[in-house]
Structure 1
């Protein structure tokens, strides 16, 4: 099983929103915090990402700035532009140039900004290890797959053709995975002695995690997982707990309930089917365990998430009808 893909699929709760913008200096935009992960991709020109605290980050053409925690920030054509008094907007929402002064006839910047909605009530520990802002410069010979995805995105946005509506959501999902993969590749392994990054690089723990993710329905024991890892029961339990942050069977339960939530959001499968997929033969036992983890019964959780999805779809329709440039894709 691909653990990184599972992390993303487990946390994603809605569509990826994106907006392509073209601005002429001077300009600046403030973005408020949001429940998700976001990105800025500079297609042409340059801009500056300005954190609430810390030094501005210069973004040149081809650079990607990743915001894994949806942190508040500003983006400007010049770090000297004052943004404190500007109104804030959600990331990837259509907006006009916010020009503190001047006619806005300066250098041009073209950007693609996007946001992925995430379930912050059950954050995956891997995402928690990312810093507030990740800057991936467009360096020759590095992260060729990420560069390829950004170029394909830029082409589809600049010259939409038949099939673009199907390609764009796939490319946005690919961009997210390539960004996370690039950061994991950039991070020195010796920097992570515990946590999920270290677990992914530990052959024994990685093998056990793959087993859990591949077969969450299986009635795993610590001894069986230790055998998959090639370690004794006691040695495996210590190693897994140290790296992952919780004992093996606690993580198994966490993943089962996370996977169940994903199934409830993404399908209309009967509760008995969902229960069987994660290893529960009793629908009642599954409902009890699910409510203990999520605070809602599976039926109530499904109704709540379906209602939220419908509200988002209706909001997207209103934006489209009003001529907005924001797009949302499944």
Structure 2
């Protein structure tokens, strides 16, 4: 099991979305903060300025990628001095999977590709919580070719959608998110330069243990068996795992089992006994008690209260 893919699949809710916008100077747009969401912006043509809620403006150029993991607000404009208009997007409004739009005056053109993802706020993974408010990936010749290729394919499909465009765009948006996270955690070809969960995924021993837990959460893992997979002594493994992951090994195992259970309850109609079995509980009673301690409600009530959510426009 690929841990990064598993984390994204477990935390994302509903479909992502994207919009290709052609701006003409003068223009300025404020994008409000939306907690529980993550969004991106890519500069496809021209240049513009990022005006964050805090900090100095940043000039952006063709190929620059911005990622807002926690849904913080910001503004984009053709210059640092241009007045910005507020967005009229409602957080819970029905939106299309992808669209094209134009705005602004009649001056120089800037084209952006923006998109958003809705994340589960109740069981946010520490990998995502470790990320900064803003990830800025400047365009540099020869760097992150896979990310650039995904951007080019997504922009082309939105500009000229063909048969099966919904499937293509949805898949490319998921791919883009993974490439953004890869690029952030991979500097000069070597991961773990940003610490925290990036370091955990780069550490061969800890990564092997995480892959085992994610690949088979129902297995009766112990610190000893996970330490064997990591090639470390029990004490050294437990210490390093807690340092990088932020929880002791069995604490993370329990947390991931119950997070996986929540996802299964939300997305499937499998009986509670089946959900319990798939996440490593020998009885429905033991599972229900553990789930209620973690989530505050019984699993049946959690399933009834969980309803489909519409992804919000984060751009």
| CA-CA distance at 1:181 after TM superposition | 0.4
SS in 1 for 2:48: strand
Name the structure 1 match of 2:19: 19
- Once the two structures are superposed, residues 140-178 of structure 1 have per-residue CA deviations (whole angstroms, 9 ceiling, x without a partner) of 211110011011011101111111121000000000000
Name the structure 2 match of 1:258: 259
CA separation of 1:98 and 1:24: change in aligned 2, threshold 3 A: closer
Matched, 1:208 2:185: no
Cα distance in 1, alignment partners of residues 164 and 152 from structure 2 = 17
Cα distance in 1, alignment partners of residues 6 and 272 from structure 2 = 21
| CA-CA distance at 1:89 after TM superposition | 4.1
Name the structure 2 match of 1:219: 220
- Once the two structures are superposed, residues 7-42 of structure 1 have per-residue CA deviations (whole angstroms, 9 ceiling, x without a partner) of 111111222122222221111111111121100122
Instruction: Name the TM-score, length of structure 2 as normaliser.
Output: 0.89
Name the structure 2 match of 1:287: 288
CA separation of 1:139 and 1:300: change in aligned 2, threshold 3 A: same
Matched, 1:112 2:131: no
CA root-mean-square deviation: 2.4
> Which structure has more RCO (C-alpha within 8 Å, separation ≥ 6)?
2
**Contact preservation (8 Å) 2:21, 2:103:** no
- Once the two structures are superposed, residues 248-274 of structure 1 have per-residue CA deviations (whole angstroms, 9 ceiling, x without a partner) of 100000110111112222222111111
| CA-CA distance at 1:97 after TM superposition | 7.2
| CA-CA distance at 1:59 after TM superposition | 2.2
Instruction: Name the TM-score, length of structure 1 as normaliser.
Output: 0.86
Cα distance in 1, alignment partners of residues 185 and 77 from structure 2 = 28
- Once the two structures are superposed, residues 288-318 of structure 1 have per-residue CA deviations (whole angstroms, 9 ceiling, x without a partner) of 111211122222222222x243xx39xx9xx
Cα distance in 1, alignment partners of residues 141 and 107 from structure 2 = 28
Name the structure 1 match of 2:77: 76
Q: Which sections of structure 1, spanning at least 5 residues, go unmatched? A: 317-325
- Once the two structures are superposed, residues 48-67 of structure 1 have per-residue CA deviations (whole angstroms, 9 ceiling, x without a partner) of 22111112222222221111
Instruction: Map 1:69-148; keep pairs closer than 5 Å.
Output: 69-83=70-84, 86=86, 89=89, 104-148=105-149
Which structure shows the higher helix fraction?
A: 1
Cα distance in 2, alignment partners of residues 176 and 292 from structure 1 = 32
| CA-CA distance at 1:228 after TM superposition | 1.2
Matched, 1:199 2:206: no
Cα distance in 2, alignment partners of residues 242 and 96 from structure 1 = 46
CA separation of 1:190 and 1:157: change in aligned 2, threshold 3 A: closer
| CA-CA distance at 1:121 after TM superposition | 2.3
Matched, 1:4 2:4: yes
Name the structure 2 match of 1:50: 51
**Contact preservation (8 Å) 2:291, 2:299:** yes
Q: How many residues align?
A: 306
**Contact preservation (8 Å) 1:32, 1:73:** yes
Name the structure 1 match of 2:238: 237
Cα distance in 2, alignment partners of residues 37 and 87 from structure 1 = 17
Q: Which sections of structure 2, spanning at least 5 residues, go unmatched? A: none
Cα distance in 1, alignment partners of residues 60 and 134 from structure 2 = 12
**Contact preservation (8 Å) 2:20, 2:100:** no
Matched, 1:275 2:273: no
